Amino acid sequence: RRSQAVLSWEMEELGYHVTQSMISRYEQGQLDTPLSLERLVGWALCCDALSSREFRELLALAGYYLPWTDDDLCRFDELLHSYRALSKPDQTVLRRKLLWHVLGIQSEEADHDAAG
Amino acid sequence: MTRPGEVLEPPAFRSEPARRAVAIADRFGARRSARGPAEFRSDAERAWWLRRMLEELGTHCEDSPQLSDLRGFLIASPRGLEAVVASHLDDAERLRLYAHFFAHVLVGDADGAIAVCLEYADGRAQRDRRSPQALKQEGMADAVAAAMLHGRLERTPRYLYYRDEPVRTPGLRPGLRRRAGAVLHRISLALFRRSRRYQRLRTWSVTTLVVNRVQDVLAA
């Protein structure tokens, strides 16, 4: 389980502005503003929880869909977990790239989104 | 040497990466030929050209200034291939890394499955948690990359690159020889995938001589 501070930092590194207090309020159900698909996936990515039941339920609740099988999502989680021994900057670079693969965005589109 | 009635066809490439691997090895090996001056003047040119080959195969390549434990990594998924290389690498390191990534693409480590190939910086390998199976794949990619860079694909199994087509030759004996050759090639490829010792053995000149001789006998 990631601490809220670490999770907030990792989300910022992915390019999403999600503060520690926002995370706290989301976890307590105090925030109504729905998370975008990208932020949901980013959150699950930071927690190595893409294959978790909770993530699947959240996606269904929000009406989102990821075209991956359960085995694929398990594989992503295994990869993310196994690379936790890397330095933080290396994990961030790897996680950013994996995020675009999970979301199904081509690299050129991702670079454009990041720049825009 | 062909016999009367025998039609020899050029071997078909197994895949587009295989065709390009042979082209890479031919080009990098040209510096040892007496035909003319070397085509590349520096490792920077070779690295650039190899990166272009990867990009033409659909791999998105980019540099990252943030990598420290890693020299680079290759991500493969049904969404595509992506190679990230540390910006601080020199041209020789960059060339070896692109060759290594190309080898992974060639041997099928990146065939639609979700995979990440990491290349650790010197002294950072203690962070390496890869399984024995993954380490074997790395060993194979290393061997193939080295063969490509030196223009010595004969140090690797033929069936990595070619798919033998049947030769239209009358007679039972040529067919049997060809089948025996195919079996030996498959055994060689299977050993190469699994055994570091066999990979090292294939780098010896005497092994190359023996392999070529056996191939000539079976193709005669």
Write out pLDDT tens, residues A48-102: 889 999 899 888 888 998 889 999 999 899 888 888 888 889 999 999 899 988 9
Nearest-Cα residue of chain B relative to residue A110: B60
Nearest-Cα residue of chain A relative to residue B127: A85
Q: What is the model's pTM?
A: 0.84
d(CA A19, CA A9): 8
User: What proportion of chain B, given as a percentage, has pLDDT over 90?
Assistant: 40
Strands of B14-88 (E only): list them. 59-64, 70-77, 80-86
Strand partners, A98: none
Nearest-Cα residue of chain A relative to residue B117: A79
Residues 6+ apart with CB under 8 A from A111: none
Interface A-B, measured as beta-carbon pairs within 8 A, has a size of 57
Contacts of A72 in chain B (CB under 8 A): 114
Q: Tell me: the pLDDT tens digits for B169-204?
A: 666 777 788 888 888 999 999 999 989 899 999 988
Query: If you write DSSP's letter for every residue of B148-191 in order, what string do you get?
Result: HHTT-GGGS-GGGTEEPPPPB--SHHHHHHHHHHHHHHHHHHHH
Instruction: Find the mean pLDDT for residues B95-111.
Output: 87
Nearest chain A CA: its distance from B118 CA (Å): 9
What is the model's pLDDT at position A34?
75
Of B70, B73, B114, the CB nearest to A76: B114
Reduced to 3 states (helix: H, G, I; strand: E, B; else coil), residue B216 is helix
d(CA B99, CA B81): 15
Question: b/e per residue, B148-158, with b = 16+ CB within 10 A?
Answer: bbebbbbbbbb
Nearest chain A CA: its distance from B193 CA (Å): 22
User: Using alpha carbons only, what angle is made at residue B109 by residues B165 and B119, rounded to the nearest 5 degrees?
Assistant: 135
Nearest chain A CA: its distance from B158 CA (Å): 32
A5 dihedral zone (left: phi>0; alpha: psi -120 to 50; beta): alpha
d(CA B98, CA B61): 10
Strand partners, B77: B80
Reduced to 3 states (helix: H, G, I; strand: E, B; else coil), residue B56 is helix
The answer to whether B99 touches B148, Cβ cutoff 8 Å, is yes
d(CA B172, CA A55): 62
Residues 6+ apart with CB under 8 A from B59: B74, B80, B81, B82, B83, B101, B105
Q: What's the mean per-residue pLDDT of chain B?
A: 84
What is the model's pLDDT at position B144?
94
Of A82, A94, A107, the CB nearest to B73: A94
Residues 6+ apart with CB under 8 A from B130: A82, B118, B138
Residue B37 pLDDT exceeds 50: no
Instruction: Report the relative pairing of strands B12-13 and B59-64 from DSSP bridges.
Output: unpaired
Q: Tell me: the pLDDT tens digits for B137-147?
A: 888 999 999 99
The three-state (H, E, C) secondary structure of chain A, written as one string: CCCHHHHHHHHHHHCCCCCHHHHHHHHCCCCCCCCCHHHHHHHHHHCCCCCCHHHHHHHHHHCCCCCCCHHHHHHHHHHHHHCCCCCHHHHHHHHHHHHHHHHCCCHHHHHHHHHC
Does B68 sit within 8 Å of A107, measured CB to CB?
Answer: no
The residue ranking higher by pLDDT, B219 or B26, is B26
Query: If you write DSSP's letter for every residue of B103-145 in order, what string do you get?
Result: HHHHHTTTSSS-EEEEEEPTT-GGG----HHHHHHHHHHHHHH
Q: Is A107 near chain B, with CB under 8 Å?
A: yes
What is the model's pLDDT at position B169?
63
Query: What confidence tier does B53 reach under pLDDT thresholds 50, 70, 90?
Result: very high
d(CA B44, CA B84): 17
d(CA B33, CA A4): 62
Does B75 sit within 8 Å of A107, measured CB to CB?
Answer: no
